[in-house]
Every structure is written in structure tokens, then in C-alpha cells.
Amino acid sequence: MRSETQRLIASNKVEGTPVYKRDGEQLGNVYNFMVDKYSGQVAYAVMSFGGFLGLRNVSTTLRQPAFEFKLGFPAFGLAG
């Protein structure tokens, strides 16, 4: 089994990670992500937001390269 490296992160650590707008406002959290079976690359992340106690949550997709992992800050941000 391979462990995490400086470039790799375990999927269970990505799910639930906050997603922030460029101005620092939190949009939601990564619900899960979809991996292309042939290339092995992340095709897109599913972000959930809104709702209360899991009710009325809304989901949307964030395609690469629309988001990026913020090094030194355990979160994703919108690229740009």
C-alpha cells in the first residue's frame, strides 16, 4: 500500500474539505470526487452547500482546473 506523499492525498481526507471563493468566503464542502477510470485523473469534485443538518443541501460539480488545493491551508479554492 502506498502512503501519502507531498503530491498525493488520501481520498478520505479530501471528502468534507471546505471550498472557498477567491475572496475567502466558504462556499461549501467537497462531498466526493469522480475519477476517470482510464486516465486515473480526477474528472471533477462534487461540492455540497446550503441546507441545515443535511436537509435541503444542494450539490454542484467543480471541474478541473476550476479548483485547486491550497497548500498549507487544508481547503480547496476556486482557481484564478
State pLDDT tens for residues 7-65. 777 778 888 888 888 788 888 888 888 888 998 888 888 888 876 666 677 787 777 76
Domains with residue ranges and CATH for the chain: 11-78 (2.30.30.240)
pTM here is: 0.68
pLDDT of residue 50: 78
Q: How far apart are CA 37 and CA 44, in angstroms?
A: 13
What is the phi/psi pair of residue 48, to 5°? -110, 145
Q: Does position 74 have pLDDT exceeding 70, yes or no?
A: no
Q: Give me the torsion for CA of 16, 66, 43, 1, rounded to 10°.
A: -50
Per-residue confidence (pLDDT) for residue 80, from 0 to 100: 56
